[in-house]
Amino acid sequence: MRTIFHIDANSAYLSWTAADMLRKGENLDIRNVPSVIAGDPKNRHGIILAKSLPAKKFGIVTGESLAEARRKCPKLLVFPPDHKLYSRYSDALYDLLSQYSPVIQRYSVDECFLDYTASEKLFGPSLKVAHEIGTRAKKELGFTVNIGVSCNMLLAKMGSELEKPDRVHTLYPEEMPQKMWPLSVSDLFMVGRATAQKLKKINIMTIGDLANADPSHMKSLFKSQGVLIWNFANGIDNAPVLAEGEVSQKGVGHSITTSHDVEDRREAHRILLFLTEKVGTRLRDLNKMAGVVTVSVKTADFARYTHQIRLSSPLDTTSQIYGYARRLFDECWKGEPLRLLGVSVSELCGPNNIQLSLFESPVTEKNQKIDETVDLICKKYGAGVIRRGR
């Protein structure tokens, strides 16, 4: 049987900011007072990204507006995000974990999976080492982590969520009826808000209800997603932990929150072109081509929707991706004021894995040469020194 750890930094952005401030001589530990990490409200990025436990007691939640959080707690301390700092602390955590296993998969900037199966003979029992990792993270790096221990990635991740902060939890299959099944079905990994609402409408309220449901019924209601979440509710997950370098890039995307409501189609198109430039450059840096283009928008009322198209042949040219993005936007936009636009591509493949079409556009080669030239200029003189017109 495998032994898998899921390591999750507690309130990472705020904890890492606090640790860095203390290291630089600050006397106040912002984790002990009502505080949050949030963007600049002047640029409409005033969303709570992380919060301290004292802030949580005021009812402040991740994702709400900074203005709303300040109404709940007028003396709230607010600190801006610092992604370079987060990257350094994320790397420090990864380096610590690499001392216990070479098989570590970054799941996000503040989460890692670690396959401890082969390491147990070297370092001892899994629970002892999990506690040791937690202690070392606190003493050496200055922040706490939660660690879930189980036989697969799904149960390890669910285990690490059971109680926070600074905890080690096991969640093996025999522990599921007591520890996991009583939880709300919305707490299950891969069950989003819309899926949870649909499940509750058919009286599936807990993870245990889903685990004991008819899998064929779940498939008929939710297609392949239904099979996946039924398996997860029963603790079934055979995915391997992939060491860094083995994890494939699944997609590339870029979005922007605008400084004002966008209500003009031409302005929206200009923003889409700017986003597509970034997406196209990253795609070519990865030496990948995309099979799906997706556009996402968020209205001034915070309603969000997406539109996507599967391409007949993968591509990587900025002008072609922009053409699809603009078309998708025109098809899905209903004229509401917008506060966010995004462009992403997925189903990536290498250039050698595509089948050339007899009906390939004659301008494709010209577009590729333009992209190569623009990419070279930007790499030499900096991003943004040259931009294409619509």
Alpha helices in 262-315 (DSSP H): 265-285
Please tell me whether the peptide bond between 34 and the residue prior to it is cis, using omega within 30 degrees of 0.
Answer: no
Strand arrangement of the beta sheet that strand 304-315 belongs to? 251-262, 338-346, 290-299, 304-315
The CA-CA-CA angle for residues 181, 187, 192, to 5°, reads 130
Report the candidate in 383, 365, 361 with the shortest Cα–Cα distance to residue 374: 383
Q: Please state at what angle helix 265-285 crosses helix 364-381, rounded to 10 degrees.
A: 80
**Rounded to whole angstroms, how far apart are CA atoms 228 and 146?**
25
Residue with tokens 């020194």: 385
The letter for the amino acid at 353 is N
Would you call 229 helix, strand, or coil by DSSP?
A: helix
Question: Burial, 356: exposed, middle or buried (Cβ in 10 Å; 0-12, 13-18, 19+)?
Answer: exposed
Structure letter (DSSP) for residue 249: P
Q: Catalytic residue at 277?
A: no
Three-point CA angle 201, 202, 206, nearest 5°: 90
**Marked catalytic residue, from 111, 140, 175, 246:** 111
Catalytic positions, please? 111
